[in-house]
Structure 1
Amino acid sequence: MANASRTRAGGPLSRLLILAILQVNFIASGLEPDFLYPLENVTIAQGRDATFTCVVNNLGGYRVSGDSATARVAWIKADTKAILAIHEHVITNNARLSVTHNDYNTWTLNIRGVKREDRGQYMCQVNTDPMKMQTAYLEVVIPPDIVYEETSGDMMVPEGGSAKLVCKARGYPPPRIVWRREDGGDLISRGGPQGKTKVTSLEGEIVNLTKVTRSEMGAYLCIAANGVPPSVSKRIMLHVHFHPLVQVPNQLVGAPTGTDVALQCHVEASPKAINYWTRENGEMIITNDKYQMSEINSSAYSVQMRLVVKSIQDGDMGGYKCISKNSIGDAEGTIRLYKMELPYLKSRGEDAETNYVETNDVRSSLQGPLREGGHRAEDADSGGRPSPAASYRIAPHAIFLISALAFAC
């Protein structure tokens, strides 16, 4: 029987009875409503949902100025004095607002998909006499966004000219803008008190580049951030235009007949140039069984031109030109290919006769400032033969090594 009493005491009817008894006690005691917890400020990103929670004790048994009606909780936008809701009923014409009540002491104001105009002070008010209320602030933050119509696009400047990079962004709080090179290179700042300095980043909406060099060509990133994720960025390509420049590492190249030899030129040009090879008589060289051409990009504006002449013969000797042309100008470099004669000597073997080659250092004999058709002048005696001190013997199979070195160079 005692167990049944305990079960009934824990049922729904018992809980309602307890609430009724408490309400009678509140009426008898005359306790006034009070706030159990302070209303907390809310900071929320635009587009997300915000909630304010108001906890009021002793509300159910309080009569307003002796009236039979109990006290009510109302939500008010304090800065505009607009009544949003009373108890569980939304008053304002805003479908994004709703109010919930847990049937005891907690009222919640819900704002779905907050907008910038929702920011401001909100009040939870109880219509006691005098009125009681507490307030909290709703701050609506906005992630950064690039204003593309006010931000620079890809641009072209002549070498030595100036470039003005502009990046505009909106958001709340106002975004901070930082500039960086996409390749991680340095930015050159020339406007400070220290004159020309190299930095990894620059801050501000505008970056002024003066006396621009080809090394400053590339992609620049403007990054906008205000502490509200995500940060955003825009890529701006800076093209620096200049006429071609051709550099020839080895202007004189020597090799024995029957070997392959590689000729090289380094070209810098912007905009992109048309590069090709010719013989000294102006005949254009095309890729075939005799010639193999290739280009290797070293950077955004530099290219390594390479021409391989296969199995060179006497008719292949002479001048070769590497030519580069773009819309601004043209340039060329000249390489002279000469026949390098390798004298053969008899071996000092016991029975068989084996030919050997007397030569200087193999690499220096193939490329460099050599005289045509022979060895370096300082290594030859009056008879045109290499001095013994400057020579050594190489077996015939070393000719293949010489060929390989000629091709590698």
Structure 2
Amino acid sequence: MAAGAQAMGGGPLARLLILAILHVNFVALGLEPDFLYPLENVTIAQGRDAMFTCVVNNLGGYRVSGDSATARVAWIKADTKAILAIHEHVITNNARLSVTHNDYNTWTLNIRGVKREDRGQYMCQVNTDPMKMQTAFLEVVIPPDIVYEETSGDMMVPEGGSAKLVCKARGYPPPKIVWRREDGGDIISRGGPQGKTKVTSLEGEIVNLTKVTRSEMGAYLCIAANGVPPSVSKRIMLHVHFHPLVQVPNQLVGAPTGTDVTLQCHVEASPKAINYWTRENGEMIISNEKYHMSEINRSAYSVQMKLVIRNIQRSDLGGYKCISKNSIGDAEGNIRLYEMELPNRKSGDEDDRDISSEESNDVRSGLQGPLREGGPRAEDAGFLGGGGPLAGSAPHTAPHAIFLISAFALAAC
């Protein structure tokens, strides 16, 4: 037989001839149909396509006992005992089902767009006597989905109050709910048996927050997952309301006239506040060539106020106020601006000129007073510490000597 197949080139015609010979042999030997491979369980996401493959040997030519018909392969929904298909013909009224016979011994049940109700036990059956069959289970999984009508939306609570966050999800298997803060901060639990606890994530459909503080304000993420991608989440914004708080880093600011200076205030408020600057007499400040105002957001409830005053003059000195107002209350901070004098430093040339002037004044003052005519007397040389005439002395010592001699003579009189 192998030689014959080789003689025919080993092509499709040769393989058909071999199958026909085997079929005749099986019929002659009276072999019963048998399953070549077990039917495998299938797990599929809802909406995808599923299929079961049943491989039966020795089916062709087998006669059903007491009947001239050959054996057939049937597909049955075992849990409902509903016949789905016989051989290649679909019996049930379901357009999503089809059966293909890909080879002489392989039958495939195809289910398009699987639904949750398709879940269950499926049977591949051969009507031998006794009947032969094998079964497999179709598991239909469903990705998680947030039930928005039963899930909390954005909420507002007063500082010190309580908040209950609820998140519901559906899917199969049932999803697990995990809570996290969007900014990575801690979720704070109070009042439990362990007192105040902080965690980065919390499992469960409900989160109870008590004695809420402004630091707990922000976005909370409810994440639902059941192992079937994709996971889903919902963002719930928690707003904590409180009256404004103003902090002034520097309440006394000094700057020289003619320069620019920046005044700063830190404001915390929720809901968002209206912030502005005034002079101490209540005059509101507006942005112009003289003043520049700006705000920098530090967090959901924190703002840094800045006021730049250009080219300070004496009229700009005095008190300034940063004021914050929201629907709950208001607050203000006070800053006093004073003139700072720079030290008056003289240049090196000016210092040299001052020193020379002082020396010349000292010389001129030394030259004032009555002077004797002629040179110094010999007896005066001893008073000056010399041993003889002043010949050879430095020229600049003569005026001082004359002044001292004159002063001595006046004292003697």
Same fold? TM cut 0.5: yes
Question: Which letter maps to 2:234?
Answer: K
Q: CA deviation at 1:340?
A: 2.3
Q: Secondary structure at the match of 1:19?
A: helix
Task: Please tell me the residue identity of whatever aligns with 1:156.
Answer: M
Contact 2:5 2:15 in 1 (8 A): no
Residue aligning to 2:121: 121
Q: CA deviation at 1:68?
A: 2.1
In the alignment, what sits opposite 2:21?
21
Letter in 2 for 1:91: I
2:69 paired residue number? 69
The whole-number CA distance in structure 2 between the counterparts of 1:196 and 1:220 is 19
Count, aligned residues: 352
Say whether the 8 Å CA contact 2:5–2:14 is kept in structure 1: no
Aligned-pair identity (%): 89
Is 1:45 the counterpart of 2:45? The answer is yes
The CA deviation string for residues 364-396 of structure 1, in whole angstroms up to 9 with x for no partner, is: xxxxxxxxxxxxxxxxxxxxxxxxxxxxxxxxx
Give the equivalent residue in structure 2 for 1:210: 210
**What letter corresponds to residue 21 of structure 1 in structure 2?**
I
After the TM superposition, which residues 130-169 of structure 1 pair with which residues of structure 2 at under 5 Å, given as runs? 130-169=130-169
Distance in 1 (CA, whole Å) between partners of 2:124 and 2:6 is 39
Aligned partner of 1:235 in structure 2 is: 235
Taking the TM superposition and a 5 Å limit, the aligned residue runs for 1:1-400 are 6-8=6-8, 10=10, 12-344=12-344, 346=346, 349=349, 351=352
Tell me the distance in 2 between the aligned counterparts of 1:144 and 1:234. 12
Conserved? CA contact 2:54–2:107, under 8 Å = yes
Preserved contact between residue 347 and residue 353 of structure 1 (Cα < 8 Å): no
Q: Secondary structure at the match of 1:328?
A: coil
Partner amino acid, structure 2, of 1:209: L
Kindly provide the amino acid, as one letter, of the partner of residue 82 in structure 1: A
Deviation of 1:184 after TM superposition, in Å, equals 1.1
Give the drift of 1:7.
4.1
Residues 63 and 70, structure 2, Cα contact 8 Å, conserved in 1: yes
SS at match of 1:28: helix
Cα distance in 2 for partners of 1:100, 1:186 equals 57
Instruction: Name the larger-Rg structure.
Output: 2
Residue 394 of structure 2 aligns with which residue?
none
Rate the CA distance shift 1:178–1:113 in 2: closer, same or farther, 3 A: same
* 310-319 or 131-140, larger mean C-alpha shift: 310-319
What TM-score comes out, normalization by structure 2 length?
0.82
User: Structure 1 residues 4, 197: CA separation in 2 closer, same or farther (over 3 Å shift)?
Assistant: closer
Gaps of 5+ in 1: 355-409
CA distance in 1 between partners of 2:103 and 2:292 (Å) = 88
Give the counterpart letter for 1:96 in structure 2: R
User: 1:172 deviation in Å?
Assistant: 0.1
- Aligned 8 A contact 1:346 1:353 in 2: no
Question: Residues 332 and 353 of structure 1: is their aligned pair in 2 closer, same or farther, counting only changes over 3 Å?
Answer: farther
Counterpart AA for 1:121: Q
- Deviation, 1:27, is 2.1
Q: Which amino acid aligns with 2:61?
A: G
How far the C-alpha of 1:287 sits from its partner, in A, is 0.7
Q: Is the 8 A contact 1:76 1:85 kept in 2?
A: yes
Q: CA deviation at 1:208?
A: 0.6
Is the alpha carbon distance of 1:201 and 1:13 closer, same or farther for their aligned partners in structure 2, counting shifts above 3 Å? closer
Distance 1:91 1:352 in 2: 122
CA contact (8 A) 2:97 2:112 kept: yes
Distance in 2 (alpha carbons) for counterparts of 1:348 and 1:76? 111
1:244-299 CA deviation, whole Å, 9 max, x = no partner? 00001111112221111111111000011000000011000011111111111111
2:161 & 2:28 partners in 1: Cα distance?
A: 88
The aligned amino acid for 1:188 is I
The Cα of 1:104 is off from its aligned counterpart by: 1.1
Specify whether residues 170 and 294 from structure 1 end up closer, same or farther in structure 2 by C-alpha distance, changes over 3 A only.
same
Corresponding residue SS for 1:64: coil
TM-score (norm 1): 0.82
Alpha-carbon distance in structure 1 between the residues aligned to 2:218 and 2:354: 63
User: Secondary structure of 1:102's match?
Assistant: strand
User: Residues 16, 257 of structure 1: CA spacing in aligned structure 2 closer, same or farther, 3 A cutoff?
Assistant: closer
1:42–1:138 Cα contact (<8 Å) kept: yes
C-alpha displacement at 1:99, in angstroms? 0.4
In structure 2, how many angstroms separate the alpha carbons of the residues matched to 1:6 and 1:315? 114
Tell me the amino acid that sits aligned with residue 230 of structure 1.
P
Q: Which letter does structure 2 place at the counterpart of 1:305?
A: M
Amino acid in the other structure paired with 2:266? H
Deviation at 1:341, TM superposition (A): 3.1
Q: Tell me the distance in 2 between the aligned counterparts of 1:222 and 1:311.
A: 53
Aligned equivalents of 1:222 and 1:5: distance in 2?
67
Q: Tell me which amino acid in the other structure corresponds to 1:199.
A: V
CA distance in 1, matches of 2:200, 2:315: 54
Helix, strand or coil at the partner of 2:8: helix
Report Cα offsets for 1:95-150 as digits up to 9, x if no partner: 10000112311111000010000000000000000000000000000000000111
